[in-house]
């Protein structure tokens, strides 16, 4: 379970538990409990937002690194993944699809012959000259 999933579940539990207890409790304790619930939700939302920001920066960095590496080559996904050392597979996958979606990286099918003479196809990724 990722940190985002944990934060979502915890935020939901705090919100439901806090709001239910606020409706039951009377007087000044209600205001204190409301303040605690709001503070906890704000803290968890801040952590989730910061993690989302960090992930976006990582994707952008990997995307830029792919563009530099593909500037003079047409490579398959496996070749790109091997060139990006110590970057997790899901991050490379997301960055590549994001770059293809934006149009900064293009793709096409490349045909080649296997050792036994059979024709194979692979998707190649490239950066168009500007």
What does pLDDT average to over the chain?
A: 83
75/99 Cα distance (integer angstroms): 14
pLDDT of 113 strictly over 90: no
Number of H helices and number of E strands within the chain?
A: 4, 2
Read off the pLDDT band of 107 (50, 70, 90). Answer: very high
- For residue 37, give the CATH number of its domain: 1.10.10
Domain range enclosing 98? 3-126
Q: What is the pLDDT of residue 57?
A: 96
C-alpha count within 13 angstroms, C-beta hemisphere, residue 15: 11
| Number of structural domains the chain divides into | 1
Q: pLDDT tens across 20-68, in order?
A: 666 666 666 667 777 777 777 778 888 888 888 999 999 999 999 999 9
């Amino acid at each position: 379970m990722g940190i985002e999933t944990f934060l979502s579940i915890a935020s939901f539990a705090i919100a439901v538990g806090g709001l239910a207890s606020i409706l039951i409790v009377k007087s000044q304790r209600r205001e204190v409990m409301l303040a605690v619930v709001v503070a906890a939700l704000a803290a968890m939302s801040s952590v989730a937002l910061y993690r989302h920001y960090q992930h976006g920066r990582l994707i952008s960095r990997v995307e830029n690194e792919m563009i530099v590496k593909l500037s003079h080559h047409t490579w398959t996904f496996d070749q790109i993944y091997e060139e990006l050392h110590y970057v997790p597979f899901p991050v490379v996958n997301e960055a590549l699809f994001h770059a293809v979606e934006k149009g900064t990286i293009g793709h096409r099918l490349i045909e080649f012959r296997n050792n036994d003479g059979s024709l194979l196809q692979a998707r190649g990724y490239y950066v168009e000259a500007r």
